[in-house]
Amino acid sequence: MQVHPISPVFDRDSKVLILGSFPSVKSREAGFFYGHPQNRFWKVTAAVFGEDVPQTIEEKRAFLLRNHVAVWDVIHSCEIEGSSDASIRNVVPNDLSMILDAATIDTIYVNGKTALKYYERYLQPTVHRHAICLPSTSPANAAWTIERLVAEWRCIKERKMELWDAYDSDFKIIPGVTLVRGEEATFAEGVYHLVCEIILKHVDGTYLIMQRDPRKAYGSMWEATAGGSALRGENPLAGAIRELREETGIVADLMTEVGMVVNPPTHSVYAEYFAETSCDKDSVILQEGETVAYRWIDRETLLAMKGELLTHRMWQFVPELKD
């Protein structure tokens, strides 16, 4: 049985967490992550952040912390032959709570499909957060050139600094303009970012409502929509699908755009979606930092709560929810 010999790298300012599967023989010998000289992790991440490739362990640790990146692996211990992922047996996962409790991790990434497989099997059921799979930097993934890897891995920087497309009031993208989350006060007049909102109905006739995290604006209030800002390069439907999946763990059977709203005070244009699902109603996975509870309620209860819910735009677009 091999036990993971490397401590995680993180501090309270870490914003993204990157998880591998289990350290290779070279990494275990070196006593640090991605120690195989042909693994492209350090070249790729250095290119993403526009820095020189770190060489020593001290340089690598400082590089990660400087860029608010936490690094660890999914597996605490396992049986493994050399560095062969295919030989991994009897997995005991790492406990991510030491990182997630200490830092505000916006996004969890996994380095390759093996890490994703073990994350989804052993960690997602307890962490209740989805991970985004990035193409592996391992030399075994030779089909991916360094250039392709850098292009795909840029999201670890852009996710930390969330980027949006710019829209006009007709819901048309303004070419050549990129907006940055948190800088809304600097947006020019007539420039908007896209927000997707989704109301979710189960095939049994009930609707999903969720309670906002107390630490957020309007904390502890209930709302009848999932949603959030579309990322740069996402069309409205793609943004709605992603937001629903991130906030609930659900991929809807049907997603229909039902309306559009322009809100000049917040520089937002809203794309409203009505979604239907036949999922197991107990399978909802709440997004940490966004919501803390959920309920499925019938139409009459939903309408009776209308004045209490932090949901304003959707009512005018769904005929069955009009008074």
Give this prediction's pTM.
Answer: 0.55
The amino acid occupying position 170 is D
CATH topology of domain 2-158: Uracil-DNA Glycosylase, subunit E (3.40.470)
Q: In what order do the strands lie in the sheet with 2-3?
A: 2-3, 75-79, 89-93
Find the mean pLDDT for residues 123-148.
Answer: 89
Find the mean pLDDT for residues 282-287.
Answer: 92
Q: How large a percentage of the chain has pLDDT more than 90?
A: 70
pLDDT higher for 312 or 148?
Answer: 148
**pLDDT at residue 159 in the model:** 62
| 18, pLDDT greater than 80 | yes
Residues in Cβ contact with 292 at an 8 Å cutoff, skipping those fewer than 6 apart:
211, 212, 213, 214, 220, 286
pLDDT tens per residue across span 38-82: 999 999 999 999 999 999 999 999 999 999 999 999 999 998 888
| Residue (of 40, 281, 251, 44) closest to 140 by Cα position | 40
Q: How many C-beta atoms lie closer than 10 Å to residue 201's C-beta?
A: 21
Q: For residues 160-180, b (16+ Cβ closer than 10 Å) or e, as one string? A: bebbbbbbeeeeeeeeeeebe
Find the mean pLDDT for residues 92-116.
Answer: 91
Q: How large a percentage of the chain has pLDDT more than 70?
A: 99
**Which two tokens mark 158?**
């852009």
Q: Any alpha helices (H) in 154-235, and if so which ranges?
A: 155-158
Q: 228: which DSSP letter?
A: E
Q: Answer yes or no: CATH 3.90.79.10 is held by domain 163-321.
A: yes
Average pLDDT score over the chain: 91
Angle between helices 41-49 and 146-153 (to 10 degrees): 50
**pLDDT at residue 233 in the model:** 85
For the chain, give every domain's residue range: 2-158, 163-321
Strand partners, 179: 164
